[in-house]
Amino acid sequence: MTERPPTQEDESVLNTPENTEMWVNRLHQEVRDITSSSENILTGQEGADIPPAQVHIESLRLNNREVTFVGVQHTPETLLKYQSEITDAIRNADVVVLEYSPEIQLGGKTMREDLVERLGEMEVVDDLTPEELRDRYINQQSEPEKFFFGVSNIAAIEGKRIALLDPTNALGGSHQEELDFNDLLQKDLPERVGNSGMIMSAAGLAASAALTALEDPEKIDRRSFLKKILKTSAAIGATAAASQFAQQDLDRPDGHIREMSDSRRRTEEMLAFGLNDLRNITVSENIEQLAMQLPEGSKIAVVYGDGHRKSIMADYLPHADLRNAKKLVYEPIRPALPERPAIGIWEFNMEEGHWEQLPMRILLG
């Protein structure tokens, strides 16, 4: 649960069926507010340097379930241009996997408490109505956060459950803790991974096994397997190239990673060993576990930065051996991940206006 249930004393909202229509209207309005601000940017002078947003959608069958990946550049401009496509993907799904959801990740905190952390002045938010409080909270979000706030609202409107499966997302952390972890994620951890001789040594074997797992096992004899180990081990020396690959912008559908051939991307990815790679591995594993919790024929929509799409859909999701080979490499840095990750299933309570976390077994019902 993210926002505590409203009370007469501090939210002036009663738990009545009539509130369902009120919340549907409210969520729609918030999506319109997020996209209308983007429209002003795109049509104004400052929008001249903004590249056009794109969305790429692809699907695969996984254990008689369908997984559809909606690759996005998570900005309000993307939501404005592709709201129809994103909404259709959500509407056709049984569960929606999001890269991030600001409201859900509040955990036990209220929006009021989070705003106080961000703004540092209690009096700024003390006298706000519930509607003004939500507006102020949304306005304080970054552009990616606004995008996922809007997508979360669409899922709520469509009556869809949201799954968060990324180990780097904290649940209920303070705003400063989020900033500190983001700094750690972007700077310290990738360098720690790249500079660790022990990790890079293990990476050579893991990458060799991973690359081999993608080929037909019947066509791989001992000699060719040894050649692949030697070739990959030699390539491990290209730490600078691997680090550069790991730092690429994985959220831009028009980014450099899309220009790579699958073979080049996969080879560099095997050597990249950074937090984004760990995320792709873990999210793929969790999507597979989620799929197995759902009845056969179920559909899962995944809304993530487009740069994650090929790694998840072509490499890690369909190839468990590949995931297992790479996972071992990351054991030394797992303690640096959030102690309380936002991993679970949530459903929006339309009467009380908040997200509620559900036990996984409910999905079987």
**pLDDT reported for residue 192:** 57
Rounded mean pLDDT of 254-272?
59
Other C-beta atoms lying within 10 Å of the C-beta of residue 12: 10
345 within 8 A of 161, measured Cβ to Cβ = yes
For tokens 């304080």, the residue is: 140
Task: Return the percent helix, strand and coil in the chain, to nearest 5.
Answer: 60, 10, 30
d(CA 177, CA 118) in angstroms, rounded, equals 11
**pLDDT reported for residue 238:** 38
Rounded mean pLDDT of 340-351?
92
What ranges do the domains of the chain cover?
19-44+51-181+340-364, 196-289+320-336
Range in 102-111, 132-141, 272-281 with the lowest mean pLDDT:
272-281
Model pTM score: 0.77
Nearest to 251 by CA among 100, 104, 103: 100
What are the tens digits of pLDDT across the range 150-185?
999 999 999 999 999 998 888 987 767 777 777 766
**pLDDT reported for residue 350:** 92
Residue 208: CA count within 13 A, CB half-sphere: 21
What are the tens digits of pLDDT across the range 49-81?
556 668 999 999 998 999 999 999 888 989 998
For tokens 């060993």, the residue is: 273
75 within 8 A of 38, measured Cβ to Cβ = yes
What are the tens digits of pLDDT across the range 188-206?
655 555 554 444 445 554 5
Q: Write down the mean pLDDT value for the chain.
A: 75
162 within 8 A of 345, measured Cβ to Cβ = yes
What are the tens digits of pLDDT across the range 193-246?
555 444 444 555 455 555 555 555 444 454 554 454 445 444 444 343 444 444
Confidence class for position 276, pLDDT limits 50, 70, 90: confident
d(CA 326, CA 339) in angstroms, rounded, equals 22
**pLDDT reported for residue 310:** 87
**Identity of the amino acid at 349:** N
Write out the two tokens for 179. Answer: 């900033």
- Can you say whether residue 223 is alpha, beta or left, with left for phi > 0 and alpha for psi between -120 and 50 degrees? alpha
Other C-beta atoms lying within 10 Å of the C-beta of residue 360: 12
For tokens 């009021």, the residue is: 112
Confidence class for position 277, pLDDT limits 50, 70, 90: confident
Choose the most confident range, by mean pLDDT, from 134-148, 238-252, 260-274.
134-148
Rounded to whole angstroms, the maximal C-alpha distance in the chain is: 74
Q: Please report which helix (H) or strand (E) contains residue 301, including its range.
A: strand 299-305
3-state secondary structure of 105: helix
Write out the two tokens for 18. Answer: 């009539």
Give the gyration radius of the chain's Cα atoms: 22
3-state secondary structure of 71: strand
3-state secondary structure of 107: coil
Other C-beta atoms lying within 10 Å of the C-beta of residue 64: 11
For tokens 């190839």, the residue is: 319
d(CA 1, CA 357) in angstroms, rounded, equals 5
Confidence class for position 131, pLDDT limits 50, 70, 90: confident
**pLDDT reported for residue 352:** 87
Confidence class for position 248, pLDDT limits 50, 70, 90: low
**pLDDT reported for residue 229:** 43
- On the question of pLDDT at 304 being above 70, the answer is yes
**pLDDT reported for residue 181:** 72
Work out the percent of the chain whose per-residue pLDDT is above 90.
Answer: 35
Residue 14 gets which letter from DSSP? Answer: -
**Identity of the amino acid at 78:** T
Confidence class for position 10, pLDDT limits 50, 70, 90: very low
